[in-house]
Structure 1
Amino acid sequence: MRHSGLSDTKTDVAESQQTDVDVLDVLFANVTLLDKSVASKGEPRFVAKVLRQTMSCRANLTPHKLVDFFLAALHSKVPTKDALVALAGGEPTPTPVQTPATPVKSPTRRSARGKKTPAEDDVPDASAEVSKAEDEALRTPIPRPRAKPTPMQTLLPEVEAYAHLLVLMFLTDNGDARCVQASIDAANRLKVFNRRTMDQLDARVLFYVSLSHEKHAELSDVRSALLASLRTSASRFDEIGQESSLNMLLRNYLHYNLYEQAEKLRSKATLPASRSNQQQCRYLYYLGRIRAIQLEYSEAKECLQMAQRKAPKFARGFTLELSKWITVVQLLLGEIPDKKDLTYGGGVTAAALRPYLDLANAVRLGDLEKFRVVAGAHEHVFTCDKTTNLVVRLRRNVIRVGLRRISLAYTKIHLTDVASKLGLGKDDDVEWVVAKAVRDGGIDAMIDHDAQIMYSKDISDVYGTTAPQEAFHARIAFCLDTHNEAVVAMRYAAGGKTPAKSSRKTLNDADAEELVMHILDDDEF
């Protein structure tokens, strides 16, 4: 048992050392990629690979490894080197000194004749254990020396910007409030350099400026900086910075419920032609929220569902937020979401969607009292999710569903009974509520204002009307239009272009060959 415990400890130490080696190797490799990006005059795929590899080793960043990287990758002439080392808050890792292991010889107990006794055969030999340890040490791979950045690479502004980004990532992940001032200093430092090879790094640093202020300060303080960044990116044709600044501004406005300002900015801003998938998902999410507040529920649902389809699989929090908004928008449209859409994932995900599942059940039943209980019990959740305004609007839908159930159950009912079944208070005008539902087409009924009675009309058979015929006609017309478009596309070239000279020459050659064949046939006769 003692030997197995020692082996487990050795394995854990080896794994931790291997992890540390991998982190520094990745960071040094990223410096090489940044150098290649500068040499290729801003090739975006190199910086994109740097960001991907950084996210993969982000969880393994430690203060000691950050300090080791800064001391090796930043030149002594870089003015922000000492500040970055101080923000990391670690000490450089001491260089390990390897000393050759001295084998320990243990005398073997022998009998008087010079041979081991049978009882001594069961005792483990110390020399065998030492030799086994030496074999394990020899089989353990010696870490190769790291390829540290060259002196020319340590002077690159891109490497300095990457160092600022690493510090901001580390401080933000640890919840350190120093990330606010560090992000401001990093943004001011990067403004000194006017290099297109730093556009992606600038956009990512600006993202952490907004994120740090959202967590530890006032988000409105960076609005002017984001507007200036958007103007600068548009003038420089920096598409990455433009889409990042636009999304951060939309988030800034929506954080303070400034939906009108967000819509004005969105309508006047020019969207870049080539957009990344992540930024497009964020834009569709913000646009869906704006459309939902503006009562354009169909377009809001389309934008939110498109963002959910485009969202990466590992973005679970973003997908969860989209599920909440899609559920509320579907309820406002009169649709009841499937239960599986609100119970997927299990655990934390199902618990986060539980308030919206209860809300959907209350709307489906048309129970106004249950709706009030759910809205009151989960008021804090709806406030944090920014869906309180939409949840309040659902009261009309609950009343409409309840009226529909009452109209199906009763052919004649007094308005007082309607109010009691719906749970309406004395301040609510029941007659006005029923009349509005009749006018909107929610129920098929009529009101006797003198007797205060609601009469439900008989449900007509839909197959006795022209509705099925119109539906089939619309489907057939769509199929015919699709067929005609396909025929036209096969008949004519795209864009109405005339055939090329080579095709004309081929046709002329075929006609000439056919004429020669006819002449030969005539000669035979």
Structure 2
Amino acid sequence: MPPMAAAAVEKMEVDEKEARIENIREQLSLLDKAEAHLIGRVLQTIPKFRKTLNNQVLNKLVLTQISHNAIFAEQVLKYVPYTAPPTPIVVDNTPQPMDTTPSKPSKAYKKSLKPIYSSTESDSFLRLLIIIHLYSQNKYAEALELCDLQIKICDKQDKRNLDHFAAKTIYYLCVIYEKQGRLFELQGFLNSRLRTATLRHFTESQAVLIYSLLRCYLINRQYQSAAHLVSKVAFPENASNNDLARYMYYQGRIKALQLDYTAAAGYFLQAQRKAPQEGAIGFKQTVQKWVVVISLLQGEIPERNVFRQPIYRKCLAAYLDLTHAVRLGDIVRFNKVLEQSAKVFEADDTLTLIVRLRQNVIKTAIKQISLAYSKIFIKDIAKKLLMDNETETEYIVAKSIADGAIDAVITSETKDSPRYMQSSETADIYRTAEPQGHFDSRIRYCLELHNQAVKALRYPPKNKISFENIEQQREREQQELELAKELAEDDDEDF
């Protein structure tokens, strides 16, 4: 690369780093206002800054931060060490004329000499950025040390605005413990923090602690404890959409394990709606896997275009084969898919639900048999279902008839003759109440969606009344007096 091009590239990199630092400084200046609605807005910019963080940027931000805490830089700089490269010294030997006139310091210079101390919120935001940087660099031990320091400082200050930063810190604390495979160690800590956050009405910490505890219980297979927690706590209504999406996802998993598939499908649907429109691809993929399994357990077949979407095409490949097996009622294919993709299902925590799909596959096969044959012997059904016991096959057919999956009867010609299944004539479904039930459920869903949209409406903040200080008041009164004198002189001239 030519020297000129290399210098241009280097200059662009320097300008880019300065732009990153300036963007973060703008967010820090917003935090110095100590307004609650600005804190939430600043925390939403973390994903944008996450990829641009490095030791140089963070080191420079810490050094330029004039904190009320005298040991702030000392506590933080050891986690982001950086040594600037030496700059070349250019010696200019040309004589310069001496300026003997004394220079007076300007007002801006005098103002810049006064130190402008940062707020506790901006210090906490910088610590949070360093925690995220350490986590992305897999420096878990240092990140845990800084997390403990951040939580202690937030507890010591006891400011409601610091609850946002404490909640984010607890989230990354749980993520790091989960990466190390010892999330169960935090159960006591999370329970005690949840009790304190509920009593003090810290909504941000309360939301994070609830879904972190649910994840801890589900990972450790403590399903009863998770269900008990959901029944006892109330999730904050003004929590962010990201926190609400996670909570709905965990509630859906609990309901699915409790065999309440209708409620589980509703929770998973809300989790998909509350998830970010852009990003969070991993979360969307995980939720979609559970949606496919729940749909199959409810006797519904997911649409094919779901599996064709780019973000789902690869991760849902095994679930597509499973859907084909359930749709066709093919027991052999179902067993083959279950054997080949058992590790995938186990990693997704859906294996226990997929094993239950065997009964659905058998019911689908029996339904297809009842549509194809008006009369068929039980032993022939057993052969088609690859079952050895005719009595067990008869029980399964009777269960399908009792559940309403098929419209048939089991009978025999004589007492000792072989038993068979007699299918009834197919009736017009539009003469039944089933279409009305589907229509009513869709209306209820639309009304619920409308109510949630109305609750989520946000209005622009009202313009605050600007109060004038004493100098501005004196200046305004002086202008009014001068205006009154001018009007009086004009009146005298008229006379």
Secondary structure, counterpart of 1:350 in structure 2: coil
Identify the match of residue 416 of structure 1 among 379, 382, 387.
379
Which residue is 2:286 aligned to? 321
Identify the match of residue 91 of structure 1 among 55, 62, 82.
82
Which residue is 1:335 aligned to? 300
Which residue is 1:429 aligned to? 392
Tell me, yes or no, if structure 1 residue 192 matches structure 2 residue 184: no
What does 1:13-412 align with in structure 2 at a 5 Å threshold? 13-37=10-34, 43-73=35-65, 75=67, 78-79=70-71, 81-88=73-80, 90-94=81-85, 96=87, 99=90, 151-154=115-118, 156-178=119-141, 179-313=143-277, 314-345=279-310, 349-412=312-375
User: Normalising to structure 1: TM-score of the pair?
Assistant: 0.73
Amino acid at match of 1:294: Q
What does 1:467-486 align with in structure 2 at a 5 Å threshold? 467=432
Secondary structure, counterpart of 1:352 in structure 2: coil
Secondary structure, counterpart of 1:295 in structure 2: coil
Which residue is 1:494 aligned to? none
TM-aligned CA deviation for residue 58 of structure 1: 1.1
TM-aligned CA deviation for residue 472 of structure 1: 6.9
Which residue is 1:456 aligned to? 422
CA distance in 2, matches of 1:275, 1:204: 13
TM-aligned CA deviation for residue 26 of structure 1: 2.3
Q: Structure 1 353/77 Cα, relative in aligned 2: closer, same or farther at 3 Å?
A: same
Secondary structure, counterpart of 1:192 in structure 2: helix
CA RMSD of aligned residues (A): 3.1
TM-aligned CA deviation for residue 312 of structure 1: 0.7
Can you list the C-alpha shifts for 1:21-58, whole angstroms capped at 9, x where unaligned? 12211232222122111xxxxx2222123212332111
Range that drifts further, 249-258 or 193-202: 249-258
Query: Would the aligned equivalents of 2:295 and 2:302 in 1 still touch at CA under 8 Å?
Result: yes
Can you list the C-alpha shifts for 1:103-151, whole angstroms capped at 9, x where unaligned? xxxxxxxxxxxxxxxxxxxxxxxxxxxxxxxxxxxxxxxxxxxx99984
CA distance in 2, matches of 1:402, 1:473: 26
Secondary structure, counterpart of 2:316 in structure 1: helix
Amino acid at match of 1:20: K
Task: Give structure 2 stretches of 5+ with no counterpart.
Answer: 94-110, 444-495
CA distance in 2, matches of 1:312, 1:148: 42
Task: Give structure 1 stretches of 5+ with no counterpart.
Answer: 38-42, 103-146, 480-525
Can you list the C-alpha shifts for 1:462-482, whole angstroms capped at 9, x where unaligned? 17x8427x8579979x99xxx
Query: Would the aligned equivalents of 1:243 and 1:271 in 2 still touch at CA under 8 Å?
Result: yes
Amino acid at match of 1:61: L
Query: Would the aligned equivalents of 2:378 and 2:419 in 1 still touch at CA under 8 Å?
Result: yes
Query: Would the aligned equivalents of 1:153 and 1:159 in 2 still touch at CA under 8 Å?
Result: no
TM-aligned CA deviation for residue 425 of structure 1: 5.3
Query: Would the aligned equivalents of 2:321 and 2:337 in 1 still touch at CA under 8 Å?
Result: yes
Identity %: 29
Amino acid at match of 2:164: Q
CA distance in 2, matches of 1:418, 1:188: 68
Query: Would the aligned equivalents of 2:154 and 2:163 in 1 still touch at CA under 8 Å?
Result: no
CA distance in 1, matches of 2:200, 2:113: 31
Secondary structure, counterpart of 2:294 in structure 1: helix
CA distance in 2, matches of 1:66, 1:430: 69
CA distance in 2, matches of 1:10, 1:448: 91
Which residue is 1:12 aligned to? 9
Query: Would the aligned equivalents of 1:70 and 1:81 in 2 still touch at CA under 8 Å?
Result: yes
Range that drifts further, 49-58 or 375-384: 49-58
Amino acid at match of 2:360: N
CA distance in 1, matches of 2:336, 2:257: 24
Secondary structure, counterpart of 1:351 in structure 2: coil
Query: Would the aligned equivalents of 2:217 and 2:225 in 1 still touch at CA under 8 Å?
Result: yes
TM-aligned CA deviation for residue 16 of structure 1: 2.0
